[in-house]
Structure 1
Amino acid sequence: MPPSRRFAKHFETPYLAREAVYPNDRSPARRLRVGYVSPDFRNHCQALFMRPLLKSHDHEAVKVYCYSSASTPDNVTQELKGYADIWRDVHKLDDDELAAQIREDRIDILVDLTMHMSTARPLLFARRPAPVQVAWLAYPGTTGLSSIGYRFTDSWLDPLGDTAADARYSEKSIRLADTFWCYEPLNGDIEPGPLPADSAGHITFGCLNNPCKLTDHTFGLWAEVLRAVPDSRLKLLLGHGGAREAVRGKFAALGIDPARLDFLEYQQREQYLRTYCEIDLVLDTFPYNGHTTSLDALWMGVPVATAIGKTPAARAGYSLLSNLGLSELAAANEQGFIETAVALSLNRPRLRELRAELRQRMRDSALMDGARFARAIEHGFVTAWKDWLATA
């Protein structure tokens, strides 16, 4: 049994015996009350995605409530607050108190933005304070909770007609028209700069993902790429300590000189984005792809080489690249990933071309079209609402 289902079995089940009664107006075509719940309405990567959505909502279609559990609000909190119809600071409320507030607000659709990530509130959703509950944004997976009826995804992450894929979720999947993500960089004034290889004299691969995504299998694939591209280097985000020595040892065992590895400390966002000015090509992680980091790389003019996996987390790179018209960088398998990464790294003219055009590709795509994305989300809300009305 997957961990999310085990969690639900042990912790959600007691709440399901409680009767849930909703006095909400059941008109199928009216302004819906939508509530977003998150501890991360602040200077956090979630803001890269909530900002374009919140500022683009059609307030004639939805009345937007934000329930913020951010214990240390900041300037980003204040900006996001300005986009909501109703903003509630709820970090001092326990789950029972917050559920009562949501019922009092008569929320029609409650959106879980955190799922099982840090400081999430899954047992708030187990209390079923809203008739329709949706999981989105934290990651393209499942909560395992039967109290959350729907999840948003896209057809790149979860292909239409893939019944085996749909069976892995406790929620019903609603596929957004284009993309699971809509992105704003926040630090938008940092330019990509020229191709680093032109001044360095060698190719620099990079991966600035969370180190928890670094697996021995990924290292094996990367080692094949490094072996095929002489004098190339690899930049990794990894703090000082035993982890660096462990990674050096793993690459040495794979026949790669550890001196070809460059490690970076954790950085503030501006400096982190500038680091992409030192990277020619990002190598994705497997089986859990980069999500936000891949979008950051693409914004900074750095292409991402990936492979198409079997789960949504392993198809994130494919989804992002497909929205940019660059699906050729998403190989059908891992051997194809190696070949794609090697071929692109040896094609300096193509790397220069991509570095010059990727930012505009991003701006022109659904990945940065807030209004288009908001309409897709709102359509998803209407779909879920009508579905619930038909079964309530």
Structure 2
Amino acid sequence: MEDSATMSTPPTPEVSGDTFAAAEAAWQRGETETARAMCERLVAADPHDADALHLAGLLEIGRDRLAARALIGRALVSREDPVFLVGFAMTCVGAAERDMAIYALKRALELRPGSPIALNNLGHLYGEAGDTARASELFERALALAPQHAAIHFNYGTMLLSANELERAETVLRRTVALAPNHANAWNNLAKVMLAGKRTTEALAVLEDARTLAPDSVEILTNIGAILSGGTRIDEARTVLERAVELDPRRVSAWSNLGNVLLKLARHDEARAALTRAIELKPDFADAHINLGNACSKAGRIDEAIACYRRAMACDPGHIGANSNLLFSLMFAVDDGHAIRAEAEQFSARHEAALLAASEGARHANPPDPARRLRIGYVSPDFRNHCQSLFTTPLLDHHDHSAFEIVCYALSAQRDDVTARLASYADGWHDVREFDDARLAQQIRDDGIDILVDLTMHMDGARRLLFARRPAPVQVAWLAYPGTTGSPSIGWRLTDPWIDPPDDPRVDDQYTERSLRLPDAFWCYDALAPGVEGNALPALSAGHITFGCLNNPSKLTDATLSLWSGVFAALPDARLVLMAPPGGAREQLAARLAAHGIDAARVSFVGFQLRTDYLRTYHQIDIALDTFPANGHTTSLDALWMGVPVPTRYGRTALSRAGLCLLANLGLRELAADNDADYVDIVTALARDLPRLAVLRAELRARMEASPLMDGARFARNVEAAYRHMWEAWCADARGASSARLP
């Protein structure tokens, strides 16, 4: 987002002399070259003309700051005037020169204590230094002297916004626009206050009004584009942001936001170009590095993506989004759960420490009765047409409402028919997209939620700082992916015996949470695609085997391509279908495949598709190839449901054992291997046995439907038993703590 606040220019002192008056008048009319020429003649005639030197210095501030300082310094030698001191302070830039500016302004106030401009500018400097209390006191003194001065109100409100004092900032900025209704930047910053408070709808309305005042304001256009890019009006966002960079080709944030929008529109090459341009203009702009990392991830270059996120963190160590993206991406590239846990714990230490300390030992009013009806809260940005709904649907549809009250907290502005369906399964539904973390935490407390379920962890839309506030007595992670949050605020994680073998003592050490294993599987699936049927084995008519992998390209690691290379070496007639965006991403993937001995002529690509079209792509595929170290999850279930077997290579992390879990629950454990050589043998043997493949294709959907993987009622009972176990443990702890406090 964009804002603007600067120190105010001091008025020139009233002086006599027609030539100086003419120069001053030209300056006020914006005729800077005329004013500059007049000042040069005045100084040439009298090198000690303090007023002309001062005005000449002001005229140079935007062009040559050091020259400006020299001119105003000469004016001060001739006469120590408070106005000159204010002008001198304006030539000081950055933290290194802040003390010099503060000294000049303090001296100006000694000479003229009632100067609202000096007070305003000094307040601005203290605000930049992070001294909000002293800055506020100075702004208040300035406004007491000049209560109708809109610019002082604006600078004060902008300082409060930067200090995250949102309520006070809103009050001051509303006063600004009351005094100056056409002050577009004030409306812009008022919208920023609303955005910081998650009041997106209000913010957009304010910005649209501001746009009528300043249709070519790049700041306003950039901010409108940023808001629109987070919703469904993505084409409008692109149009607005393209206009912003047309008006100001050096506007870094506009280029970064445009790159993000183009990425969402699957225009990946254009997105990379826009993001590269943003980084060229501002190499330390964290958001651009994050967006470029996202582009690399979607193009299958996960190592580059990780490097981008690390660069973003180096630019802005406090950027929680960069850190979350890094953590999530590492799981695609690293088969080491202990290393991932260490990174997750560092995340918590960086971003959650203060909130965790404040919420340590938090008291909850929930009655510690182990047998009562429990209130379960689910928090997610993805209660919509999203892959997560393939798993929330069977659980929410089968909850026992006599024993559990189900409350959903929807974080996203996107709503569709899936949203309506999920809402019908809940006892309570809260649209909390415009709640900040503190307000949402209070809402959850007020609702008396007993067990709060985090469905996102470190994925897009995560609200880690919500859970760090510990709004519920029991907090558990499930669904996003089988891993760890790294946060002490999450006490439990759901898992299963396949992705986390209970007989290995080192397994549970990969997680900061306590692991509670469901009896069958981490997932329960509903395809949500009625009418999409399977087909006969394609190889029977094609005359060759067609492999496919429709996983996110971020999972196409070099370990994966190396694993596949043995398969294609053994089966020289086999073909491969991959999902990847058009353009450079496909070219680079083809080159990487070729480096692993897989000829580009054997590979065809499909783009990202609507769900029904994507599922029908499996009509072309005989066998789905799994990825490593992050196996397919949703994609593998989709393939199996369409009758396409998915042999797997499993490893040490939970993500690398997803395929094993799915196959074991289908009675196909023999299709899982724990090393590359066995994987190649399993896949090639299956590919050469067309009768077996044909039988599997014909029976897999029925096998799926009869398995725990699609038994919503069974899964719900298992999850509810897990919730009851967690709750009983909390009740025992609560009763023990209460007893310990008795005299």
TM bin (shorter chain): over 0.9
Could you tell me how far 1:389 is from its partner in structure 2? 1.9
- The 8 Å contact of residues 575 and 603 in structure 2, kept in 1 or not, is answered as yes
CA deviations on 1:242-301 (whole Å, 9 max, x unpaired) are 221112112222232210011111111000000001000011000000000000000000
The reply to whether residue 13 of structure 1 matches residue 353 of structure 2 is: yes
SS at match of 2:476: strand
The answer for the alignment partner of 1:92 in structure 2 is 434
Q: Please say if 1:125 is aligned against 2:467.
A: yes
CA drift of 1:190 comes to 1.0
Q: How many Å separate the matches in 1 of 2:689 and 2:349?
A: 52
State the distance in 2 between where 1:357 and 1:198 align: 17
Partner of 1:211: 553
Which structure 1 residue ranges, 4+ long, deviate > 4 Å from structure 2?
none
Equivalent runs, 1:36-185 vs 2, <5 Å: 36-185=378-527
- Alpha-carbon offset, residue 163 of structure 1: 2.2
Secondary structure, aligned partner of 2:499? coil
**Which whole-Å CA distance do the structure 2 matches of 1:74 and 1:237 have between them?**
26
Residue 329 (structure 1) aligned with residue 654 (structure 2): no
How far, CA to CA, are the matches of 1:133 and 1:257 in structure 2? 49
**Higher Rg of the two aligned structures:** 2
Q: 2 CA distance for matches of 1:169 and 1:332?
A: 22
* Distance in 1 of aligned mates of 2:370 and 2:406: 18
SS in 2 for 1:64: strand
1:251 aligns with 2:593: yes
Q: SS state of the match for residue 17, structure 1?
A: helix
Match 1:351 to one of 693, 710, 714: 693
CA distance in 2, matches of 1:91, 1:279: 40
Query: What does residue 645 of structure 2 align with?
Result: 303
Pick 1 or 2: higher relative contact order, CA cutoff 8 A, min separation 6: 1
Partner secondary structure for residue 227 of structure 1: helix
TM-score, normalising length: structure 1: 0.99
Equivalent pair of 2:629/2:650 in contact (CA under 8 Å): no
In the alignment, the residues of structure 2 paired with residue 279 and residue 3 of structure 1 have an alpha-carbon distance, to the nearest angstrom, of: 38
**Aligned equivalents of 2:356 and 2:587: distance in 1?**
48
Distance in 2, matches of 1:49 and 1:116, equals: 18
Deviation at residue 162 of structure 1 after TM alignment: 2.1
Residue 217 of structure 1, CA deviation: 1.4
- Of residues 27, 31, 40, the one that matches 2:369 is 27
Provide structure 1 residue ranges, at least 5 long, that are not aligned to the other structure.
none
Aligned mate of 1:194, from 514, 536, 545: 536
Residues in 2 aligned to 1:256 and 1:209: alpha-carbon distance in whole angstroms: 18
Query: Partner residue of 2:727?
Result: 385
Identity level (%): 58
AA of the residue aligned to 2:346? R
Unaligned stretches of 5+ residues in structure 2 = 1-338, 735-743
| 1:174 partner SS | strand
Select between 13-22 and 130-139 the one with higher mean Cα deviation.
13-22
Answer yes or no: is the 8 Å Cα contact 2:499–2:661 preserved in 1: yes
Mapped contact 2:345–2:486 kept (Cα < 8 A): yes
Q: What SS is found at the alignment partner of 1:164? A: coil
The one-letter code matched in structure 1 to 2:690 is R
One-letter amino acid of the counterpart of residue 587, structure 2: E
Distance 1:327 1:188 in 2: 28
Tell me what 2:330 maps to: none
Distance in 2 (CA, whole Å) between partners of 1:223 and 1:243 is: 20
Match of 1:236 among 578, 592, 601: 578
Using the alignment, how far apart are the partners of 1:347 and 1:13 within structure 2? 56
Preserved contact between residue 628 and residue 650 of structure 2 (Cα < 8 Å): no
Q: 1: distance between equivalents of 2:467 and 2:401?
A: 25
> 1:265-284 maps to which residues of 2 (within 5 A)?
265-284=607-626
Deviation at 1:391, TM superposition (A): 2.3
Q: Take 1:256 and 1:28, find their aligned partners in 2: how far apart are those partners?
A: 58
Q: Report how far residue 16 of structure 1 moved.
A: 1.6
Render the CA deviation track for 1:44-69: whole Å, top value 9, x for unaligned.
Answer: 00110011100100001110000011
* Cα distance in structure 2, aligned partners of 1:212 and 1:256: 19
Q: Which amino acid aligns with 1:14?
A: A
Distance 1:128 1:99 in 2: 8
- Preserved CA contact (<8 Å) 2:368 2:730: no
Measured on the aligned residues, the alpha-carbon RMSD in Å equals 0.9
Q: CA contact under 8 A between 2:455 and 2:477: conserved in structure 1?
A: yes
Q: Deviations over 1:337-382 (max 9, x none)?
A: 1100000001000000000000000000000000000000000101
Q: Which residue of 2 aligns with 1:374?
A: 716
Paired AA for residue 442 in structure 2: A
